[in-house]
Structure 1
Amino acid sequence: MPTLPSPDVSKPGGADHARAYSRRDMAESFGTDPALYDRARPQYPEALIEAVAASAVDVLDVGCGTGISSRQLQAAGCRVLGVELDERMAAYARTTGVDVEVSPFESWDPAGRTFDLLTAGMVWHWIEPAVGGAKAAEVLRPGGRFAAFWYVLQPPAELGAAFAAVHREVIPDSPAASRAAASPLGAYEHFLDQTAESLTATGAFANVERPTFPWSRDYTRDEWLDQLRTSGLAKPLADAGKLDAVLEGTGAAIDAVGGSFTLDSVAVALTATRT
């Protein structure tokens, strides 16, 4: 599905999927149009934000992007500092009232600062696992919480099959087609496994849990295509000269079901407590 970051993944949990963090070229592609990104990407379920923000005051939002999760955390009463790789995304976030420092998280200097909560929305797979886990332990206070989370874009089965058919037609033998036909939720299990392993390896975390949060949203044709333009698949499709064809075919599939649809899916999280 469009949220998966690497065009080289042959199956959920594959080796290339595990190395998503090495694709910094793709990670930096999201800042091409920050306003579109901020408009097209969905917010996180309120229940998820409430659960991770409970009792937290100082929050470090890793890979905050345009500030979508940061603003939700602020609305929940938290004081948020964002760390973002892309200056374009950071600049946009600042216009929305989010304090952001520009740096890869792995080399970011906390300057002695520590936090009650570290969050990472749709981003922890871009963080080098061995470094990220240790850095999270460094910046969290004892008793502080780690929360990485992803929303799953899982359209109705019939429409998901139509989207997969578009990929097969435009890019035969593309891994994107097999991913679109498979369960999107299954692909995120690998991110959860990898994150849990990296935290456990530090010896500094306990109470590792994997809560899920249902969410639902109605999408028009144009809203879904805007979301697709901001996805991890957009750059490789554009580089191959295939993005317009995929957008056209995907739009036609949505038109065929009336021009809109309801996405009923879940958000998944990996949470842990700093010992």
Structure 2
Amino acid sequence: MPTLPPERTPRPAHSTHENRQVAESFGSDAARYDRARPGYPQALVDRIVTAAPGREILDVGCGTGIVARQFAAAGCRVLGVDVDARMADLARRRGLDVEVAAIEAWEPAGRAFDAVVSGQTWHWVDPVAGAAKAAQVLRPGGPLALFWNAGRPSPAVADAFAEVYRRVIPDSLAARQGEVPAVDGYTALCARAADGIRQADGFADPEQWRFDWERPYTRDEWLDQLPTQGAFTRLPQPELADVLTGVAAAVDAAGGSFTMHYATLAVVATRTP
């Protein structure tokens, strides 16, 4: 299994985990987030459960519980931690146990876990402080598993979406995202997470896992998900409406639906004795 080399590129002046306004914007429509966001490959969940010495899981940045429900369905007992009370409230209504806190400041109160997981979240966490907290609560042999879904449609659909973003919101993150394949951006996040794990100490060398899968989207399904993405959660409503109109036309031109090609990238490190 490949390990991740130490990060050699300089960090940006402001890391994503310092952008709290965006990090805490996803709860503005928690129900939509829970409904529209994709889950994760069952093969990933199974592999983490197999690697863990037991079934006690801590889900960092659990949000509405998308990850936590998958691990609960696999027979695990899951505690979620999330900074957003709105997201946590919806997760509790789904039957999950959630505590509201930033993981860096969260108090484990002597509790220990067999795995610490985090889906689509760790870039909002201080990579060294978060890994240090994971090392504090993990039982020996337990994995810290951090993962992201990197999605890209066909080149024609991706170009059509990018044209909408450049036209409607030219100075936005969305307009810039099309310049770099999504998997490259998430590979950089993986490298930064691995670097934080090494600095925190207490872990074996991080490994990189990858799972490729696909999901078809109708126009309405994609329009439902788009406002839940970080590039759009804080857009003024008139600009968001223009984006959705343009994206709807692009999907219609592609036949009313398209396939998103996902690569789920994971950084996994085992807690040493």
Q: TM-score under structure 1 normalisation?
A: 0.91
- In the TM superposition, structure 1's runs of 4+ consecutive aligned residues that sit over 3 Å from their partners are none
| 2:3 paired with 1:22 | no
Q: How does 1:140-155 map to 2 (within 5 A)?
A: 140-155=138-153
C-alpha contact 1:13 1:190 (8 A) present in aligned 2: no
Distance 2:171 2:92 in 1: 42
Structure 2 matches for 1:134-145, cutoff 5 A? Answer: 134-145=132-143
Aligned residue in 2 for 1:126: 124
| Count of aligned positions | 262
- Structure 1: any 5+ residue segments left out of the alignment? 1-11
Instruction: Tell me the residue number matched to 2:6.
Output: none
- For residues 63-102 of structure 1, what are the structure 2 equivalents within 5 Å? 63-102=61-100
Residue 263 of structure 2 aligns with an amino acid whose one-letter code is V
Distance (Å, rounded) in 2 between the aligned partners of 1:93 and 1:172: 35
Q: Which runs of 5+ in 2 are unaligned?
A: 1-8
Partner of 1:40: 36
**Matched letter for residue 180 of structure 1:** G
- Counterpart Cα distance in 2 of 1:71 and 1:172: 37
Q: Which amino acid aligns with 2:133?
A: K
Provide the secondary structure at the position in 2 that maps to 1:271.
Answer: strand
- Inter-partner Cα distance in structure 2 for 1:101 and 1:198: 24
Supply the distance in 2 between the matched residues of 1:29 and 1:74 (Cα, whole angstroms).
Answer: 26
* CA deviation after TM superposition for structure 1 residue 13, in Å: 8.4
Assess if the C-alpha contact under 8 Å between 1:148 and 1:271 holds in 2.
Answer: yes
Alignment partner, residue 247 of structure 2: 250
Distance 1:78 1:14, change over 3 A: same
1:155-182: CA deviations, max 9, x gaps? Answer: 1111001111111111234442231242
More moved, 252-261 vs 127-136: 127-136
CA distance, structure 2, for counterparts of residue 51 and residue 207 of structure 1: 18
**Cα deviations across residues 110-169 of structure 1 (Å, max 9, x unaligned)?**
001111100000000000122111111111111111000001121111100111111111
Tell me the distance in 2 between the aligned counterparts of 1:221 and 1:74. Answer: 31
CA contact (8 A) 1:154 1:263 kept: yes
Give deviations 1:13-48, integer Å, cap 9, x for gaps. 8726x6111111111111111111100000111111
Aligned to 1:263: 260
> What TM-score do you get using the length of structure 2 for normalisation?
0.92
Which residue does 2:57 correspond to in 1? Answer: 59
Residue pair 2:143, 2:268 contacting (<8 A) in 1 also: yes
Counterpart selection for 2:113 from 93, 115, 119: 115
Q: What's the secondary structure of 2:178's corresponding residue?
A: helix
SS at match of 1:101: strand
Paired residues of 2:59 and 2:78 also in contact (CA < 8 A)? yes
Pick which of 243-252 and 108-117 moved more: 243-252
**In structure 2, C-alpha distance between the alignment counterparts of 1:57 and 1:249, rounded to whole Å:** 45
Matches of 2:105 and 2:167 in 1, distance apart? Answer: 42
Query: CA–CA distance in 2 between the matches of 1:15 and 1:37?
Result: 28
Alpha carbons 1:13, 1:187 under 8 Å: kept: no
Cα distance in structure 2, aligned partners of 1:23 and 1:172: 21
Alignment correspondent of 2:225: 227
Residue 103 of structure 1 pairs with residue 117 of structure 2: no
Correspondent of 1:31 among 17, 27, 30: 27
Task: Provide the secondary structure at the position in 2 that maps to 1:50.
Answer: helix
**Corresponding residue for 1:7?**
none
Quote the sequence identity (%): 49
Task: Report the residue type matching 1:26 in the other structure.
Answer: V
